Chain A
Amino acid sequence: MTATPADLRESRTGEWFRHFRYVMAENPVTLFAFCLFLMLVVFAVFGPAITPYDPLASETGNALQPPSWSHWFGTDNLGRDVLSRVIVATRLDLLIAVTAVAISFAIGSVLGSLAGYYGGWTDRVVGRFTDTIMAFPLFVLAMGIVAALGNTVENIVYATAIINLPFYVRVARAEVNVRRHAGFVAAAKLAGNSDARLLMFHLYPNILPPMMVQVSLNLGWAILNAAGLSFIGLGVRPPTPEWGIMVAEGATYIVSGEWWLALFPGAALMLAVFCFNLLGDGLRDLIDPQRRT
């Protein structure tokens, strides 16, 4: 049996799908989380196309209607369909969370890897820098950043990225540090890899599985953080549909009995966070070759 490079590549995709099926079949919780995630992605991508109503069209005569067959999640104070708004909001919330997490993952893992690999002064500087960020109450820090930089969606992304940075730095530093003296690292040096190559192609891929768990958990936090910021009136502005604003706007109506305004966006928020929290282990299993047989 001889395998050509083309075979290798083909078997790699086939193998990946088999592995994916295995991870999903092995753990029903992961399967459930993955289905939820898929639903979120569908809403985010096709949101505006699949909503029954225009999320921004107000119809004052039809305001504050409880959930019914025509309006599943009811209507808000301006007569807008809550279901449509919840669906459309998915895109913005996911976008903020994913971008923010991607930025903190990219910067954090690189800084952490450098600190873990070189130690000494690099480690000290990076370590104290993250300690400084961690010393603030993170949500207050995010508020401060958005307030100082300006009230825009981009700044919410930056703020969320900055407050999540320390977690990636710490995980990456620890994971690189324990592998720094492993035999395969010495072997890579003997094979003529410079420090940079070694870090990039040998150590960095090996710290991805634990980082994935962090990414997944962080996506949940990031969504909460973005919603929290808009809840207190920073970042996203009405009438843009966004879960945090919708909860904030709906909150005033709860006392008068119109519970659906806050409950449904709140539930969407919860479901999204829940989904990402569950997804973590599954993601790690997917990305770790050692879980494959």
Chain B
Amino acid sequence: MSEPTPIPLLAVEDLTVEFRTREGVVTALKSVGLNIAKGETLGVVGESGSGKSVTAYSVMGILDRAGKVSGGSAVFGGFQMIGAREKDLRELRGREASMIFQSPRTALNPIRAVGHQIEDVLRRHTLIRRDALQAKAIELLTQVRISDPEKRYWSYPFELSGGMCQRVMIAIALACEPALLIADEPTTGLDVTTQKATMDLIQELAKARGMATILITHDLGLAAQYCDRIVVMQHGEVIESAATDALFRDPQHAYTKRLIRATPRRDSTLVDLSEAAEGATAADDSKIERLVPQSGVKPTPLLEVRGLVKEFPVLRGGEAAEKGPGFWPFARRGPAPMFRAVDGIEFSIDPGESVGLVGESGCGKSTTSSMIMRLLSQSAGEIIFDGHPISDIPVGKFACHSLRADIQMVFQDPTESLNPRFKAFDAIAEPLRRLGRKMDRATLDGEVRGLAEMVGLPDHLLTRFPHQLSGGQKARVGIARAIALRPKLLVLDEPTSALDVSVQAVVLNLLDRLRRQLGMTYLFVSHDLNVVRLLCDRVIVMNKGRIVESGTADDVLTRPQDDYTKALIAAIPHFDPSGMPDGSVAV
């Protein structure tokens, strides 16, 4: 680790930012100080609401109107950014300091070809001649390794994948060879393999240009892998700042320690996580043996999937399936080209088992789970649940079917999956009212309270609307709702991907405890192998609509057979186990 240069490229001191809200003024940043040297990569790590993005936005002068910098300074290459005139800042942004954002698709102009969007920046900040612009834009696209750049120059953002859009964003950010790149959660929402490719690209380009990079992320593993130095933030304050290996070897602050422990690793167990998580109760009872049927005879599977296929018609204009009939019902059209999202998969789940369904976006795992949930009809194949061929029941009829109560689901996004007009109480009570046995108000009241207690949701929160709850609390409401009917099969669709790591640790423990308590069977759909391993006995890996590998969680993770699984495992960012505080046991 080289000593930081005496004069930092960017020095932030005592930065304090306040937001005007309905409840009065909220201090978002409390005298934040950090600095970054030329060519250095600095990680800013913290959970949501810790002020990591606000720091970057204040420095760049793009804070939204409710926010105000009330003190401190940010000197960038000798220039005071705080309180600088908008005209000067505009000159600086894009040319000297660039930023890339979390969702590349929304950061790009949807109705302008990406090549032109790169040219816009070049025209604004450089003196490149008009006729050389296109060549320069194509050169930049080549640099960010977009294949066939001449053709992609004319592409619109919707024609590109998320990873490609982020590459275009990087090309735009780097077009003017800035001295500083601020990457705000650049890979959130991207697949692990895409994440690896994107981060490798940023690292490589930064090295080649001697560019300083600030990587803002919630993912400790990612920061560990790509940063020289890490700043940990909590509640708008910098609580720890150290070189990466020192931070992981010897974290000073209690919060840092907790954060490191809460991040699932290749060898961590739920117990490790729960120690880190406040309020987790699983510590002692998670030592109980996993509920595996002890009888020697093979039990009848709870769920059996046979030759399941789902096809979507490929429509021009990139529109998804589900389009009504054409205007002329009698007009004969040739068979529409079909895309097989799920291509003949077979598996079965025994009662009490917990099975992980893993793969990257577009691999068909969500389509599969939707079909099992009977939210989507299959094109071919059979789904047999508890001896009943549920694939024969039309999707529209299943909502009122008696088996509905036995298959429930926890959704990916706790916010989006709660009706904004239903209070927590009503959200949990809804399945009981519809599908549960008849009960009077008081019984229902008691039932809901019992469920809330089971998932650790305080009583007084039941009267709140979803937007008045935190992410973790919303997740608990979602889980309480899903287990309200004591389903036999619970499908978990990335239940923790929208949560902070410490909340994730709590939720994973909760899910594990509930499974043993209620004897449920889990189908855990996720892209995160580390998380899946914590909760599942068996793992099924999907790629391009097919099952490429399946086996016990340990086998698949430590001795992957398929190339795709290997690539998936290799792409997971992690911190070096040898540098772990407890000198972790190697797997």
Contact = CB atoms under 8 A, between A and B. Distances in A.
A192 B420 contact: no
Interface in A105-150: 119-121, 123-124
Interface in A170-217: 182-184, 186-195, 197-198, 202, 205-206
B419 A120 contact: no
B399 A189 contact: yes
Contact of A191 (B373, B412, B441, B481): B481
B400 A192 contact: yes
A190 B396 contact: no
Contacts of A182: 416-417
Contacts of A188: 419, 430
Contact of B459 (A3, A198, A293): A3
Contacts, number: 99
A13 to B, nearest CB: 13
A206 B418 CA distance: 12
Contact of A290 (B325, B327, B463, B465): B465
A185 to B, nearest CB: 8
A195 B421 CA distance: 18
Interface in B322-344: 322, 324-325, 327
A290 B325 CA distance: 37
Contacts of B404: 190, 192
A293 to B, nearest CB: 6
A21 interface: no
B430 A191 contact: yes
A5 interface: yes
Interface in B271-328: 322, 324-325, 327
Interface string B392-435: 00001001100011011101110011111110010000110011
A193 B434 contact: yes
A3 B460 contact: yes
B23 interface: yes
B468 interface: yes
A1 B459 contact: yes
A256 interface: no
A189 B22 CA distance: 35
B430 A289 contact: no
Contact of A205 (B23, B407, B421): B421
Given A192-B435, A293-B23, A186 B400 contact: no
Interface string B12-53: 000000000011000000000000000000000000000000
Contacts of A8: 425, 463
B435 A191 contact: yes
B253 interface: no
Contacts of A192: 399-400, 404-405, 431, 434-435
B375 interface: yes
A186 B465 contact: no
A190 B431 contact: yes
A191 B408 CA distance: 8
A177 to B, nearest CB: 12
B91 interface: no
Nearest to B441: A5
A2 interface: yes
A139 to B, nearest CB: 31
Nearest to A187: B417
A183 B481 contact: no
A194 B324 contact: no
26 contacts: A5-B445, A119-B324, A121-B324, A121-B325, A124-B327, A183-B413, A183-B418, A184-B418, A186-B411, A187-B419, A187-B481, A189-B375, A190-B373, A190-B409, A191-B430, A192-B404, A193-B430, A195-B399, A197-B434, A198-B399, A289-B420, A289-B465, A290-B465, A290-B467, A292-B465, A293-B23
Interface of B: 22-23, 322, 324-325, 327, 373, 375, 396, 399-400, 404-405, 407-409, 411-413, 416-422, 425, 430-431, 434-435, 441, 445, 459-460, 462-463, 465, 467-468, 478, 481-482
Given A188-B419, A192-B435, A290-B420, 7 more contacts: A1-B460, A5-B445, A11-B463, A124-B324, A188-B430, A190-B404, A195-B399
Q: Sorted from nearest, which 7 A-B pairs have the closest CB atoms?
A: A183-B417, A120-B324, A192-B434, A191-B431, A192-B435, A183-B416, A184-B419
Interface of A: 1-5, 8, 11, 22, 119-121, 123-124, 182-184, 186-195, 197-198, 202, 205-206, 289-290, 292-293
